[in-house]
Structure 1
Amino acid sequence: MTLLTENGTPGLAVIDGVDVDAVAAAVTRCAGVAALDGGPFGEVVSYLPGRRVTGVVVGDGRVTVQVRSRWGIPAADLAASIIVVLAPLTGHRPVDVVIADIDDPPATLPFPVPACLDPDPGLPPV
């Protein structure tokens, strides 16, 4: 159920007693989360009047969040931190965390090739 504020904009978005906007905001604030993820076909989503919240689904007594992880974050640690952060927002409901993707590793600076490894220093550069 979404309540509209006095000016007609969407307000509180509660599904089955869970504020999906608050869940999405809490998850995206977790250090290891790059973004919420809707899946390859956008199937992981909560539909609200006039909008949707990607990466959060409430149903069957559970809360599912699907995320893209930052590089180098252990999956178990990320899932545990998300579950802890969501505990006050989801009550007694189990939280399922799906790590759907991982960011690319950070770019590394190119290293110079030492002159001793140059295959043929006598040839002009290409």
Structure 2
Amino acid sequence: MPARSPAVLAELVAETVAAHPSVVQLDGGAFGTVATWLPGRRLVGVGIGGADDPVEIGVVLRLDRPIPATVAALRASVAPLVDGVPVDVTVTDVEVT
């Protein structure tokens, strides 16, 4: 698989995570640090760092399934995109519906 630029990778990860039915929204955390700078804007909720850094994801979840199962599903859906780089998922808040 060809290497992707951090901007393209961040967009793909954001789309994949946001598509999960339990994800209410991507979230940058208390200080907005989970983010990637893209040309002309900041993508909040996905942090793509250097080659040795894990991919960071911040989410607000709907409490419609167990949180650990949702986090595991998010990691599994992102893993093929990031070629073996560890994926850290932080649940910043939950929404009870």
Give the TM-score band, short-chain normalised. 0.7 to 0.9
| Corresponding residue SS for 1:19 | helix
Distance 2:17 2:32 in 1: 18
Correspondence list, 1:1-126, <5 A: 14-15=5-6, 19-59=9-49, 60-103=52-95, 105-106=96-97
Distance 1:97 1:18 in 2: 19
Q: Displaced runs of 4+ in structure 1, greater than 2 A?
A: none
Counterpart contact for 1:56–1:66, Cα < 8 Å: yes
Unaligned runs of 5+ in 1: 1-12, 107-126
Amino acid at match of 1:42: G
Higher share of residues assigned helix: 2
Distance 2:59 2:66 in 1: 13
Cα pair distance change 1:61/1:42, threshold 3 Å:
closer
Amino acid at match of 2:39: P
Higher deviation after alignment, 70-79 or 90-99: 70-79
Distance 1:14 1:31 in 2: 27
Query: Highest relative contact order (Cα 8 Å, sep 6+), 1 or 2?
Result: 2
* Percent identity (aligned): 37
Q: Could you state the TM-score of these two structures normalised by the residue count of structure 2?
A: 0.85
Matched residue pairs, number? 92
Deviation at 1:61, TM superposition (A): 2.8
Deviation at 1:68, TM superposition (A): 0.2
Distance 1:27 1:74 in 2: 16
Q: Could you state the TM-score of these two structures normalised by the residue count of structure 1?
A: 0.67
C-alpha deviations, 1:61-119, integer Å up to 9, x for none?
A: 3101010000232111011100111011111100011011001x22xxxxxxxxxxxxx
